[in-house]
Chains A and B, each alone.
Chain A
Amino acid sequence: MGCSNSGSPAYGEMSWFCCGSSWGPCGSAGHGACGTCNSGSHQCAWPNTSDACFGITHPDQCGEGLARRTCGHVFYVTSVCSGKCVSVSIADCGPDTNPFCGERSCCGSTCYTNRIIDLTPSAYSAIADLSTGLSPARIDS
């Protein structure tokens, strides 16, 4: 599989997060739940990497039936706004989906709901502008 060609993609909001060695408020971020996360690598956080992770993020409370995927699993994330796609591997648990249930991001008339994936700055900036913070995306396995 690859970009935009799997049978059961997920649609939602993507954001970005820092991890690994960093500066400023990110300096205390650490290397993520998988111990491998670095801002300069094409990696992501997924809200259902383990029971403990799911117990924090609870995407189910937003109506999201996201599959269990563990460290190293590869997703293909396509930005609705740019049409660009990046491949990323899971390196952390997140985002914290349930505090923001119903939140929606749009690009033109295409809108997707709920935060379902966080990308590292290098991955997010490959397909979107970091200053947007949130953006609609399609996720394929």
Chain B
Amino acid sequence: MPQPDRRRFLTSAVLGGSAVAGATALGSLAPEAAFAAPPKIKLDPGALDPNFAEGRITGISGSLLRASGSDRTLHRVHVTDGTSIWKLHPTTFDQIKVGDGFYARGVRLPDGSLAADAIWVNIVNLDASIAAIEAARLHLDHNGKRVIGHVVGGRTAAVYGSAPAVADLTRLQVGRHVKVIGAWRPDTNEVDVATVYSGA
């Protein structure tokens, strides 16, 4: 039986006005599953992407997120059972809160709302240098500002060079340039660290 088209499925789910049952018929709901479709990216380079939205969530009504874009554009984002959600790790809709920041990708509907294929909540990707290291926190300098990176037991991992990710953070060094994937704690200078990439 052919795999249902994920985008068509999401669109019909939203237009149907109800939550989607049996979404696992689509296969995995992990974020990477949203990128398994054939390549069909047609957009002029440099152009704003109509199938993308970002900003801060201002309200949640059922499965509809209302948000204010950083450029003050107002967004409405539909989340269905087929939407992959990331907030430090793959998670569920009930973990999304008013005030969260987000990036979302999906299908723009005729009414201007977005049916989300994937939504990344509070995700950050920081180029930083390590200013100090504590047992459960990294002090990071990022764009001239201090960011506190919290180590999350069972989640935070380090990648040293080209080696696989490990839970051992003891090889991190003060002064080292790092890239940090994490989840911002809204309205603070703090993030929960998912992965820290160190050069060696």
Contact = CB atoms under 8 A, between A and B. Distances in A.
Interface of A: 3, 15-18, 20-26, 28-29, 36, 38-43, 72, 74-75, 79, 81-89, 91, 94-96, 99-105, 111, 113, 121-123, 125-134
Contact of A125 (B56, B105, B179): B105
Interface stretch (B11-19, B34-42, B131-139): B34-42
A85 B197 contact: no
Contacts of A133: 125, 179, 181, 195, 197
A130 B86 contact: yes
A24 B43 CA distance: 28
Interface in B20-34: 31-32, 34
B156 to A, nearest CB: 13
B1 interface: no
Given A25-B189, A126-B105, A103 B34 contact: no
B46 A42 contact: yes
B195 A41 contact: no
Contacts of B45: 42-43, 74-75, 87-89
B197 A100 contact: yes
A33 B43 CA distance: 23
Given A40-B49, A129-B35, A23 B197 contact: no
Given A24-B124, A25-B189, A42-B49, A128 B44 contact: no
A107 B162 CA distance: 13
A20 B48 CA distance: 12
B179 A25 contact: no
B179 A15 contact: yes
A84 B105 CA distance: 15
A25 B39 contact: no
A102 B162 contact: yes
A82 B35 contact: yes
Contacts of A16: 125
Contacts of A95: 127
B52 A40 contact: yes
B39 A83 contact: yes
B52 to A, nearest CB: 4
Contacts of A21: 69-71
Nearest to B72: A21
B199 A84 contact: no
Contacts of A103: 161-162, 197, 199
B150 to A, nearest CB: 14
Interface in B44-77: 44-49, 51-56, 69-71
Contacts of B184: 23-25
Contacts of A105: 162
Contacts of B54: 22-23, 39-40, 121-122
Interface in B67-95: 69-71, 86
